Structure 1
Amino acid sequence: MKTLLRLVAAASLLLAPPIVSAQTAKLPQGVKRVVFLGDSITYAGQYTADIEAYFITRDKAANYEFINVGLPSETVSGLSEAGHAGGKFPRPDLHERLARVLEKTKPDLVFACYGMNDGIYLPFDETRFKAYQDGCTWLRDEVTKTGAKIAFITPPVFDSLKGGKPGYNDVLGRYGDWLLSMKKSGWVVADLHGPMTAYLDEHRKADPNFALASDGVHPGPEGHWVMAREILKFLGASDVAKAKSAEEMAAAPTHGLEILKLVTQRENLLKDAWLTATGHKRPGMATGLPLDQAETKAKEIGKQIEALLK
């Protein structure tokens, strides 16, 4: 009888589904300072704050530093349409400021998310496409020269239902496909455009008025969480693969929601200070505090976060 019971127990173990533990995201070894480059979507900061809050609540001892230097309207291609911003100013060009950004921020890892503005909201054009390709190649070369790593993020989804410009999301899809094709040449690329487009399409089947961005371009909180989640999955996370919001992601760890709010507050404090300290030519941006003062205030917020982690 005992032998029979042991055989039954062994069989039940073989037939039982495997227990798979959720994996957390990891940054490459040696990375401590992470810099985000991009346009107004990155400057908005929600997806970058979501990512930072994730790492703080999952890896308390890591002591990472995240810096957001996204600049609204910017391109990596150097292109700008005639009459941009009502003719007030051309689109900022990353070429003008990158050297200063790299010198002052001294990143170990750069995430770069460009493309939305680089197609200039026009039908596909080989000349514009080549300018984007050349700009990304130049950016990779410049970052690599400093010894830092760089990961490209394919462009977010463009929603023609809300933003007009029929077919423009397909233009961004071609830009994203090219980035992904460069993985065979050793580029590190996280795909955002494909999953984000699929997410929008799937939800619109149930609700024809569903949108991630009310203007077709700039995502709201749900859209930013989709961005953050895809990047975290790219970094190896499975523990948030089904989380429907940043709040759901943050709710699992103790005091996670409070930490998410503090991280967002700290990033909003620092991003304008960093943009002013590194310099740019875009009019209409808040100057923020001098960087040293902003960092002092950020340290106070950091102490509040540390207290919640104990």
Structure 2
Amino acid sequence: MRPGDVIVCVGDSVTAAGVYDGFLQAMLDRLYPEAGIRIVNRGQGGQTAGAATGLLRSAMDAEHPTLATFMFGVNDTRWSAGDEDAKAAAFTDGLASAVEFAASKNVTPLLLRESHFSHGQAPDEFAAKVNGVFDRLMPAQDAFAAARQIPVIDTPGAYMRALAAAWAADPRYEFSPDIVHPNSAGHAAMAGEILRALGAGLPLAAPLAAPTGPRGPLPLARLRAERSAGPLYAAFRGAQRFTAACTLFFHSRIRPAAAGPVVFSATDFQSSRAPRPRMPASAPSRTWRCGATGRS
């Protein structure tokens, strides 16, 4: 990263929620208070990778981005099983259009893997079927990225590690109460991985280490404890502890109902500045109580 960078987060309703990008802005402001690095949200509920180019284009004139992250996949499954090859082709075609447009505007593209459909440790039949498609899309994205030497950030890897830690304490805990949208703890885990991949905590404008061996999908920069980073690295370690604390905080707010199904309290998996997307008719209906927001 460099002073004055403008990072546009392009995606579907997971991005439109305005949560993980809010964590990014807060941490970058803390690490580099004078650098003027800005995070811009260009998420829109219900969108597929085919919308990525238009969403990025909408930010070009007003925001002048230097980097763009793209996170799609959930809606590219079309919320149904079958037609995996056609869905994967449409998914990568949308990504190709977006990264080509980004390159034409001197915007560096970064791809994020999106999280899966889940209701805890044992997914139901609907989630299992749709994840069968989703599990074809993410490898297709990796192959696309490898061929074009575009970095891929493994956000769901961090998400699942944090979730596994929560499950060790209580196997009923969920990061996605409505089956797809992460709560704040899930967003915090993803934000921590994005920060690490961007090299947050290292001096700005420091070149990324050159990759060695065959270059495939990159987890960008595995942050090294370099002495030259000094207090910045120490601050980033604080940011890592912050994301871990967020996970533990939201996990601690689980409160079982007196009877019937477990009710989870997770403050906001959807930001108030983005309308909650409608679930497709084919998706099973569930109701969850969401902490202070009172929404369900």
TM-score by length of 1: 0.61
Partner of 2:106: 147
**Secondary structure at 1:180 match in 2:** helix
- Compared CA separation, residues 96 and 60, structure 1 to 2 (3 A): closer
- Compared CA separation, residues 188 and 31, structure 1 to 2 (3 A): farther
Match of 1:75 among 31, 48, 60: 48
Q: In 1, Cα distance between the equivalents of 2:67 and 2:36?
A: 14
**Match of 2:170, as an amino acid?**
D
Match of 1:229 among 177, 192, 195: 192
User: CA offset at residue 33 of structure 1?
Assistant: 1.4
Partner of 2:137: 175
Q: In 2, Cα distance between the equivalents of 1:247 and 1:208?
A: 15
**Match of 2:245, as an amino acid?**
S
1:65 aligns with 2:28: no
User: CA offset at residue 233 of structure 1?
Assistant: 1.5
**Match of 2:77, as an amino acid?**
G
Match of 2:18 among 36, 45, 48: 45
Partner of 1:117: 75
**Secondary structure at 1:99 match in 2:** helix
User: Percent of aligned pairs with the same residue?
Assistant: 23
| RMSD (Å), alpha carbons | 3.1
Partner of 2:244: 244
The range that moved more, 195-204 or 226-235, is 195-204
Q: In 1, Cα distance between the equivalents of 2:168 and 2:131?
A: 18
Contact 1:32 1:65 in 2 (8 A): yes
Partner of 1:130: 89
Contact 1:35 1:66 in 2 (8 A): yes
Q: In 1, Cα distance between the equivalents of 2:186 and 2:129?
A: 20
Q: In 1, Cα distance between the equivalents of 2:57 and 2:199?
A: 31
Partner of 2:173: 210
Match of 1:157 among 99, 109, 116: 116
Contact 2:59 2:65 in 1 (8 A): no
Q: Runs of 5+ in structure 2 lacking a partner?
A: 201-222, 224-236, 249-270, 279-296
- Compared CA separation, residues 59 and 100, structure 1 to 2 (3 A): closer
Q: In 2, Cα distance between the equivalents of 1:97 and 1:227?
A: 21
Q: In 2, Cα distance between the equivalents of 1:222 and 1:173?
A: 23
- Compared CA separation, residues 210 and 222, structure 1 to 2 (3 A): same
Contact 1:122 1:165 in 2 (8 A): no
Where in structure 2 are the equivalents of 1:259-298 lying within 5 Å? none
**Match of 2:25, as an amino acid?**
E
Q: In 2, Cα distance between the equivalents of 1:157 and 1:31?
A: 33
Contact 1:143 1:150 in 2 (8 A): yes
Partner of 1:194: 157
User: CA offset at residue 68 of structure 1?
Assistant: 0.8
Q: In 1, Cα distance between the equivalents of 2:182 and 2:245?
A: 13
Contact 1:143 1:149 in 2 (8 A): yes
- Compared CA separation, residues 179 and 31, structure 1 to 2 (3 A): farther
- Compared CA separation, residues 40 and 241, structure 1 to 2 (3 A): same
TM-score by length of 2: 0.63
Contact 1:173 1:193 in 2 (8 A): no
Partner of 1:34: 7
Structure with the largest fraction of helix: 1
**Secondary structure at 1:208 match in 2:** coil
Q: In 1, Cα distance between the equivalents of 2:184 and 2:66?
A: 28
Q: How many residues align?
A: 215
User: CA offset at residue 221 of structure 1?
Assistant: 0.9
**Secondary structure at 2:7 match in 1:** strand
**Secondary structure at 1:115 match in 2:** coil
User: CA offset at residue 201 of structure 1?
Assistant: 4.2
